Every structure is written in structure tokens, then in C-alpha cells.
Structure 1
Amino acid sequence: MKVTLSVLKADIGSVGGHTLPSRKVLAKVEEVVREEVGRLLLDAYVFHIGDDIVLLLSHTRGVRNQEVHALAWKAFREGTEVAKAEGLYGAGQDLLKDAFTGNLHGLGPQVAEMEFTERPAEPFMVLAADKTEPGAFNLPLYLAFADPMYSSGLLLSPELRPGFRFRIMDLAQTERDSYIELDAPERLYDIATLLRDSHRFAIESIWSRKHGEQAAVVSTTRLRNIAGRYVGKDDPVAIVRTQKIFPATEEFGPVFALAPYVAGDTRGSHHMPLMPVRANTPASTFFCVPMVCGLAFSLREGRLSEPVDLFADPVWEAVRAKVVEKAQEMRRQGFFGPAMLPMEELEYTGIAERLKALEREFS
């Protein structure tokens, strides 16, 4: 059976600042989506990461389907009205356009979609991040799909040994999508050359070279390219298929335990570690440290199993304690050096404007 998974995410308002959506907002969004299960949709699941609401929708309509995207737009718009009625902060923040134009690309919400023929057992996971950039998944996915130090299946499994093809987007190109496809392991150094710069380059998708099957897809929308100003970090989502011809679910844990430094933080201005957290975790009041959650599902004829929270078991408490130490050490540097993002990545314009004023005083 050919199935489409669509993951769509947006910040449409949160309690007391950038924390989490209210119960009423979540309930309204889920109500709108649930009405279409059994008609437009095969199944659906709604959760949040920080102040972002995530929709996981399964259907048979293919990617970029107008009806499916219109449903998500309706859910986010009606949730926004509830957020406004409750006086929530940033109501409708990620809905950057006034009208639906056929699909959600270019309207603000993050979108990751994948169509595939369902295997007899179809495990997959949904990754959702908050307070960070589209390239935040670069290092974890590179290690899981290309580095045998972390992904032992690349050595042990004949299905994985031929490697994977990486499609990498150039986020600096704003007029049109610009991407390159590189094969691992032959082009490993070239892949690393690009992915090291998570501000400019981001993995868009990964494919099995042996089977031609899509393994992963990542949202790559940059909100500032749509709005022309800072409206919040881009907060990517991803769908990753696992097991058999793909890395095992357990091989993704160690790569996220590294908690790489990524762009994010309060005002989107600093480098901070990406902290693995449980789904439905509020945004951190410690400078809005970037967060990622992961839910694993099984799929049968388009119907979703109950999810497993990938970062909820006791191991992750120790990981989070170390991530806090990394975050504290970086933030002790305040504005200085690598703690703060390079000038071209600063989303707020205060420093750039001040520099222009100071330039006139130089002699």
C-alpha cells in the first residue's frame, strides 16, 4: 500500500511568552484534524515541542496535496483564533501569509512529507525541534547514515553497506530551491564540507542507494526568507524510516546524545546545544535552549500505532544533565566570540544598525 506521511508544524501562540500552547489551542487544532480521519486522512496524531504544535497526518493523497495542506492551514488558523481569545503570546506567529495558496510551502509552517510503499512492518520516527535552525539535524543524520562509528549497521548489514544518497539544500538561495546530491561513502568529505555549515546548508532528504527507497526528509523552510524580517527560529521537523534497509531506531540515540551546538537560543542569536527532551515539553526558561523530541511509530495500512517517546527513558536524564553543562559554559561567554552567531545570521538587527552608526565615528 502506498502511503503519504505529512508532518506540519507551526507556532500559533503560547502561554506567558514562548513556552507552550494552551490546552484549549491544542484541543481546537486536534478537533479540526480529527474530523477528517476516515475521509481525507487515514490517521492523525497531534503533539507539541516547546511552543510549536506538530501534526502527523497519514493519507494516500501524495505530497503537497492541496486538501491535506488546506486542512492543516484550517487547523492552525482556528487554533490561532483561540490563542487570540486567550491573549496568548505570538498568536499566529508562524502564519506569515493571510490566504492559503494551494500548499503550506512559503506560508510559514514547517513541512516534511514522504510517500512510499508500506513495508509489512513499517517503523518510522518523527523528529521535531524548537528554537533552532533547519541545519540542526545535519550532524545527527550524517552520523546515523554515514558513520560506522555510530551506525554499526553500515558495517554489519548488507542492506546498508552500499550507503546512502544525501540531498543537501543551499539555504542562502532565496529565489529558488538549490540542492546537490552526493553519495556516501564515496563523497563523504564533500558531504562533510557542506554539512559543517549548518547555517547555510541543510539535509533535505536521504535515500537508500541499494533499494532507491527514501529514508528521511527534513523541512528546510527559513522564515526570515518569507517574512523579510525576524519572526522566530525555523524549528525543523523530520520523518525518518528505520530498521531493515535503514539504520535501526537504536542507532539514532547516540547521535542525538552528542547534543551538537546549533543556532538558536533566546532571540535566535547564540550557539547552544540541541537538547533531547520528551515530547510535549515546554520551551526552557534557560535562554530557550534548543530542543528536539522524537516519537517512534509503527504503520499498518496507514494507521498509526501508539507512539514511543524516544528520549524518555532513564538514560536521557544523564544526557540532559551534560547538555545543561554545555549550555551553561557557552552562555557564560555572553555576547563574546563563538557564543553569539556570526553577523549574517543574527536575526535581530540591533547590532548591525549600531555598527553602521559607529562606522561614521571611525577616523
Structure 2
Amino acid sequence: MLLIGVLSGLTAVAPFAIDMYVPGFPELGRELGAESSVVQLSISVFLIGLVVGQLVIGPISDRIGRRRLLLPGTALFAVLSVVCALVPTMPFLLAGRFLQGCAGAAGTVLARAVLTDRFAGPRLPFYFSIQSMILGVAPVLGPVIGGLIVTAGGWRAVFWVLAALGVVLFTAVLVQVPESLPPERRATSGIGSTFATMGTLLRDRAFTGYVLTLAFAAGAMFLYIASSSFVFQDTFGLSAAQYGLVFASNAGVMLVANVVFGITSKRIPPERLLPRYIAVALAGAVGLAIQATTAPTLAGTWICLAVVLFGIGGTFPSVTTIAQTIGRSRAGTAAALSGSGSYLFGALTSPLGGGTVGTMSVLMLAALALASVALLFARPWQPVVERTLA
């Protein structure tokens, strides 16, 4: 279980690095002389780095192993966190955040690859449900912890804490995460052919369909994250503290979905569970859109969003398990494609959210409708089997 704990910590790095310094945005902008839009850009460049890093690190790890990339990636994350803590101007911060995202991608993508290397059968979806719980909790805890740190030491202190977290994780990886991909299971062709495996997986109808299902569902979740504070505070008049309770309760719903998936996946294959979770999320989005066209209420909006997030909470571990099963022989590449797709669609959809129930509901419904189409394209009624990849 120590291994699972370390891998879960690696999974939490990216969400914490995204959210923890948000409470310090006003101070950061004043100190570095940057407009709010430029300050917010520091999140976008981190997400871009996270996508690029996964697409590079995942396939290379299939050839040279996980540990040889995980150790330097974690160390670089710590070093670049120090760089971000010391930057004198906004351009330096943007560059540092991009590189920090590239380094942080090592933990994000290789945690999934190591799990795939080490486990199979019913244990694999159970452990992916634990990772999904971390991804659900981190965005809630991140701003809260970050707010305390900013209050005590300013926005730069957040990056010092991230640097310390990087050092702790580097030490944990060094001690607790042995190489999980033996030489006989590694890709033997050149690096170019290793990256060509991406094309092979993307040409696989089922794999692409499932990855797109996850990407569109992630888009709906990021729309909720970007819009919900405006909806609940501006439209329904909640205070920041009251909104925090709403956000935390909905995160709790996602955790329940993860737990339910972890239990039921021992009896029911993930490809059979996934359509049910998508149907639940879509039903919640339809209810949200219907009440938005009449007279949206606080209770109605809250309940419908909780239903949506329950469905999305079960979608994440379902698709991750399926994608890693299909691409098991090249787990790094499979993890890179599924993970980068989620963050890419999240980065693209977040600015579209708007601040009204109507806009949020329509866009979330559209995203989940596209997720349903992508799922049909994947043909979930067919058994999921591992593909033979070069």
C-alpha cells in the first residue's frame, strides 16, 4: 500500500500546482505588475506544459523504463518550483510554469503506467478509483491550503511548499517505487517508432472513442469548475464560505462515485459500467438545462450538478482502466494520450463557461452529449481486450 500512496501523491501534484496559488493572484499581479488576464495565463501555460510533458514522457518510458524518467521529472518539478518562487517578472513566471508543467507530467503519466505494469484484473480498476479520488479531492483542498499559505507567507510561499512536496515525492519514489517495466517488456524499436505507437492507438476505434469520452467528460467538469463560483455567488447570492461548502459537497459526490466504481468493478467490467455513468451525467445535465430555461433555483441547480458530477466521477476511473487495458503493452503511451486529452479539453473549455446557469448548463450538456457520441463510437458492448503493439 506504500506504493499506492506514493503513486497517489504523484497524481495529486498537478491539481495542487494548478490550484494552490490561486488565492495569491491579486498579490502576485500587484508585485509583478501584471493584469489579471496575464496572471490567469500562468495556469494555462502550466496545463499546456502538462499536456506536452505527458505526450513526450509517456512514450519514451515505454522504451527506457519508468524510474529513469520519474526520478528526474520529480526532481525537476522541485527545482522549477524554486525557480517560480524566485522569479522577478511575469515572463519568467510564465516560462517557469510551462517547464514546471512539463516536469510535473512525469508523475501524472507514469503513476498510471506503473499501476498498469504492476496490476491486472479487478485490482487495476480499484487502484484507478483511488487515483480518481485524489483528483477529486485535490481541487477542493488546493485553494484552501493555498489560502492559508498565502495568508501566512505570500504567493511565493506556495511555490516553496510545492518545492518541498517535490523533494518529499522524489525521496518516496527513490525508496518505494522500483522499476516496474522489465527490459524484456520494453519497446525495442527506435524512439521514432515508439512515438508511432501513438498513431497506432489513435487509429484503434475503441481506444480513441474511450479517450474522447473521457476528454469531453473532463471538459464538462472543467466548465463546472470555471463557472460554478459565479453561478452560486452572483446568481444565487451565496457567500464565498457557503460556495465552498457547495463545492466541497459536490466533490464528495465524486468521491462516492469513485468508491462505488471501485466496489462494483470487482463484479462488472468497466466497459459495462461506463455507459451507466455517462447516462447519469447526461440526465443531470438535461435536468440542469431544463430548469435553467424556466426559473433556476439554488436547490435544483445544486442537485442537478451533483448528479452530473456523480456520473463524471465514475467515468474517470472507468475510462482510465479501459484505456490502460487496451494499451497495456505500451502503458506509458496509453496513459499519455488519455491523460493529455483530459487536460487539453479542460484548458480549452474552461474560458467558455460564462457566469450564468443557462450558459453553464448548455455547454455542459453539449460536452456530455459529445461524450455519449464518442462512447457509442467506441462500441462499449464489445469486450475490451489488450492490443498487440510494436
TM-score relative to the length of structure 1 = 0.27
Structure with the higher strand share, 1 or 2: 1
Higher helix share: 2
TM-score by length of 2: 0.26
Larger RCO (CA within 8 A; separation ≥ 6): 2
